[in-house]
Structure 1
Amino acid sequence: MSIKEIATQLDLSVSTVSRALNDYPDISPSTKKRVLKEAHRQGYQLKDPSAGQWVQAKRVITAIVPSQQSLFIDPILAKVLAGAHQFLQPLGYLLQVVAIDTGKDELSEFERLVKAGDQDGFILLRTRVNDPKVHRLLKLNVPFVCYGRTERASQFAWLDLDNYQVGQLSLSYLVQQKHSQIGIVTLSERYFFAKERQRGIQDAAQKLGIALSHEHFLEVSFDEEQSYLACAEFLLQRPNITALICLNSVSARSAALAVKRLHTDTSKVCVIGCDTPVDELTAEMGITSVQQAAPQHVGEQLAGIMVERIKGTPVKELQVLLSPGVVKTRID
Structure 2
Amino acid sequence: MSTQPACETISPICSAQATIENEIEGLKALREALDGPLRDPFEKAVKVIQEAQGRLIVTGMGKSGHIARKLAATLASTGTPAFFVHPGEASHGDLGMIRHIDVVLAMSWSGETAELANIISYTRRFKVPLIGMTSNPFSTLAKQADISLCPPKVKEACPHGLAPTTSTTMQLCLGDALAVALLESHGFTASDFRIFHPGGSLGASLQYVRELMHKGWSMPLAHESCRMSDVILTMSQKGFGCVGIQNDDGVLIGMVTDGDLRRHISDDLLAQTVNDVMTRDPKTLRPDMLVPAAIEMLNSAAITAIFVIENDKPVGIVHMHDFLRIGAA
Query: Greater CA radius of gyration, 1 or 2?
Result: 2
Greater relative contact order: 1 or 2 (C-alpha under 8 angstroms, separation 6 or more)?
1
Fold match by TM threshold 0.5: no
Normalising by structure 1, what TM-score? 0.32
Which is richer in strand? 1
Normalising by structure 2, what TM-score? 0.32
